[in-house]
């Protein structure tokens, strides 16, 4: 009988609409602040899983949130923090200054 009740609830449109949610209420979303200068606020992301080309199998993407300018930097998935900082200095800080 329990399986029949579950099957009825799964197929009943009214029963599916009236179920209450069992999670905590959602939090309030706060938008990010709008940057005042170019390259003041940036986002960094990696595109990984690409076919290997020479020693590179990933791309690091650096995007300026204000002007939507971006830099694509070839790197590998085994990059460490020191190499990442060197690439950041070479491709972003030398061209645009400190964010």
- Could you give the C-alpha distances from 27 to 24, 30, 47, in angstroms and in order? 9, 9, 30
Could you give the CA distance from residue 84 to residue 87 in angstroms, rounded to a whole number? 5
pLDDT of 19 over the 80 cut: no
Would you list the domain boundaries of the chain? 39-99
* pLDDT (0 to 100) of residue 62: 92
* pLDDT (0 to 100) of residue 63: 92
Q: Convert the pLDDT of each residue in 36-93 to its tens digit.
A: 888 888 889 999 888 888 888 999 999 998 999 999 999 888 889 999 899 889 888 8
Q: What is the pTM of this model?
A: 0.63
């Amino acid at each position: 009988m329990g399986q029949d009740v579950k099957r009825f609830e799964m197929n009943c449109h009214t029963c599916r609409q009236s179920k209450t949610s069992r999670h905590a209420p959602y939090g309030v979303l706060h938008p990010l602040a709008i940057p005042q200068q170019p390259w003041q606020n940036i986002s960094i992301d990696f595109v990984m899983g690409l076919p290997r080309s020479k020693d590179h199998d990933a791309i690091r993407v650096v995007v300026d949130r204000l002007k939507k300018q971006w830099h694509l930097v070839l790197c590998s998935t085994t990059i460490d923090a020191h190499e990442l900082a060197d690439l950041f200095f070479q491709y972003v800080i030398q061209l645009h200054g400190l964010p």
